[in-house]
Amino acid sequence: MLTYVARRVLYSVPVLIVASFLLFAFVRVTFDPTARLRQSRDVHAVERARHDLGLDQPIVKQYAHWAGGFVHGDWGESTRTHERVFPIIRRAFWNTLQLIIWGVGLSAIVAVSTGVFSAVRQYSVPDYVFTGLSFVGLAMPPFWFGLIAIQFLAVYPKNWFGLDHTPLFFVGLHSSTAPGFADYARHLALPVLTLTVQIVATWSRYQRASMLDAMSADYVRTARAKGVPRRQVIVKHALRNALIPLVTVMALDVGALFGGLVITEEIFSIPGMGRLFIDSLVSGDANVLVVWTVVTASFVIVFNLLADVLYGLLDPRIRYT
């Protein structure tokens, strides 16, 4: 097990190095931090700036220099605000993390309960309703759902009931005027809902399928035949095993969310990782972009590894080779 983890970690190092090098080179040739100096009357200004930034060196050397700094905790500074990149990323990361925690928590609860219900009462009316909803959820463009949610859950209720404020907020995560948990919850509701719609459809389908497998397994029939109450069989025998595949899928998906909430954060003006990416891209902030991609890629790698390890821990039949 330990050797397996060690080997996986070792394998992901070159992947990360190659990925970050390609991105670094790609971002460097796409964005020129000295572009605004081209207007300058000083004909040597661009040249000097390129030399100061090390841009006149071969790309491999530039990368080596950047990677050396990155590993030692020197993540460079933003070419836009001249702030250090590390605090920028940390701030954005914290905001995204809050969305992920609440969104994944809600999605897991909804997915497991609807998935189990659908499997236990297969082909019942609620099963068909959940199946239909999951098809709609899979096809739903997340940005459209976000806009519709703002319109129908925040704006219209305010008009219908003649309120002073919208019942749910859709800008940022906190109000500057009235902080507190209620305010936080009113800010979180819509983005978390949007995120949930994005991921819950897949998860509940997964849960339904694995629960159906478990319900038809021999050990479940044996337990029933021995007279174990139905509810106990469902929860203690079937569900425990049916959760294993879902947990690994969830770990994989969560890893991708750190860089995958671009849309949700954009619509609800939440200054998280996704928003940071868009802002840096629009302003051509190459230093932030490179660090952003390496950080989000690392999360994907770590959670992929976590998924494999969890799978082995939960299902002792899995042998690592």
Which residue, 250 or 301, has its beta carbon nearer to other proteins?
301
Angle formed by the axes of helices 125-139 and 181-215, to 10°? 120
Which residue, 142 or 191, has its beta carbon nearer to other proteins?
142
CB of 257 to other proteins, least distance (A): 9
Which residue, 64 or 278, has its beta carbon nearer to other proteins?
278
**Binding interface with other proteins (CB under 8 A):** 15-16, 18-19, 22-23, 26-27, 29-31, 135-136, 138-144, 147-148, 150-151, 154-155, 209, 212, 256, 259-260, 262-263, 266, 277-278, 281-282, 289, 292-293, 296-297, 300-301
Q: Distance between CA 161 and CA 152 in Å, rounded?
A: 13
Check residue 151 and report its DSSP letter: I
180: alpha, beta or left, given left = phi > 0 and alpha = psi -120 to 50? left
214-256-15 Cα angle (round to 5)? 110
CB of 209 to other proteins, least distance (A): 7
CB of 316 to other proteins, least distance (A): 27
Closest C-alpha to 277, from 68, 23, 15, 107: 23
CB of 260 to other proteins, least distance (A): 6
152: enclosing H helix or E strand: none
* Backbone phi and psi for residue 77, each to the nearest 5 degrees, phi listed first: -130, 155
Which residue, 212 or 228, has its beta carbon nearer to other proteins?
212
CB of 301 to other proteins, least distance (A): 6
Beta bridge partners of 84: 77
Which residue, 278 or 313, has its beta carbon nearer to other proteins?
278
Is 312 in contact with 8 (CB distance < 8 Å)?
Answer: no
